[in-house]
Structure 1
Amino acid sequence: MNAPAIDSLDTLRQHIRAFAQARAWERFHTPKNLAMALSVEAAELLEPFQWLTAEQSQDLSPTQHEAVRQEIADVLIYLTQLADVLGIDLLEAAADKLDINARKYPADLAHGNATKYSERSDD
């Protein structure tokens, strides 16, 4: 079986919807269940990195890379499905959140520092 051609979030959403409909799974895909499934998949994304150093995590073996790739796909699928069920446009929501973050973390105050700028003491 060949993977479907997916070139946009809308196409992905349509394929996910069709996949669920073909299996009559819609009744199970409530926002609560999808949020829980998303959380499980996000946790599974941690597993390939569990005992790696920061440096090792940047140089994954092909097997590790594929495991991460698969888990990222699961996260994206559940996130897309949850957004679809709730009527949320993912790209619009992401753009809005980037705008909020740009105001919340101005580059001149947050640049090069992992500590939230509003929690730093002036040294």
Structure 2
Amino acid sequence: MTGVSEGESVTLDELKRKMAEFAKERDWDQFHSPRNLLLALVGEVGELSEIFQWKGEVPKGLPDWKEEEKEHLGEELSDVLLYLVRLSDICGVDLGKAALRKVEINALKYPVKLCKGSSKKHTHITATPATANDNNCCCDGV
């Protein structure tokens, strides 16, 4: 049904092409402004959030979830991803490259020496005198 064999990866470019084709076939490009896509994305994030609402912490792998719950989760995650891919395409942003760049930026914001095992935001990380002059520390002495 998906045209993708088991174990085969799907690229963001493939999703982008599929979404563009899907919208074009339905003459929906006229509705796919950045604002409209963003609002649709926010709505889908809300639907995704509802799945976890009131469940408390959930263990990795969702071992206690029924198969239909996991399937529903997959559908909502997909809705979020597809709107995000479509929004990035409409805005002319290469989402894959932007994501990789963001990982690099975060690696600088959160150096392993200062952040390993911590969930603190980069603005709350303090460099010790021994690491403050370290070239890998980019926390600007915070």
Whether 1:61 and 2:66 are equivalent positions in the alignment is yes
Distance 2:126 2:84 in 1: 37
Q: Which residue of structure 1 lines up, in the alignment, with residue 85 of structure 2?
A: 80
Q: Which residue of structure 2 lines up, in the alignment, with residue 3 of structure 1?
A: 2
Higher normalized contact order (CA 8 Å, seq sep 6+, divided by chain length)? 1
Deviation at 1:71, TM superposition (A): 0.5
Q: Which residue of structure 2 lines up, in the alignment, with residue 91 of structure 1?
A: 96
Q: Which residue of structure 2 lines up, in the alignment, with residue 31 of structure 1?
A: 34
Amino acid at match of 1:50: Q
Report runs of 4+ in structure 1 exceeding 6 Å deviation.
Answer: none
Deviation at 1:93, TM superposition (A): 0.1
Q: Aligned match of 2:54 in 43, 48, 51?
A: 51
Do the aligned partners of 2:109 and 2:122 also contact (CA within 8 Å) in 1? no
Whether 1:113 and 2:118 are equivalent positions in the alignment is yes
Secondary structure at the residue paired with 2:117? coil
What TM-score results when the alignment is normalised by the length of structure 2? Answer: 0.77
Whether 1:14 and 2:13 are equivalent positions in the alignment is no
Between 1:54-63 and 1:73-82, the stretch displaced more is 54-63
Deviation at 1:66, TM superposition (A): 1.0
Gap regions ≥5 residues in structure 1: none
Higher helix share: 1
Distance 1:4 1:18 in 2: 15
Distance 2:28 2:43 in 1: 18
Q: 1:54 to 1:25 in 2, by over 3 A?
A: same
Gap regions ≥5 residues in structure 2: 128-142
Q: Which whole-Å deviations, capped at 9, do the CAs of 1:7-55 have from their partners, x for residues lacking one?
A: 3211111111111111100010000000111111111111111111214
Highest Rg: 1 or 2?
Answer: 2
Deviation at 1:120, TM superposition (A): 5.4
Aligned length: 121
Deviation at 1:119, TM superposition (A): 1.8
Do the aligned partners of 1:110 and 1:116 also contact (CA within 8 Å) in 2? no
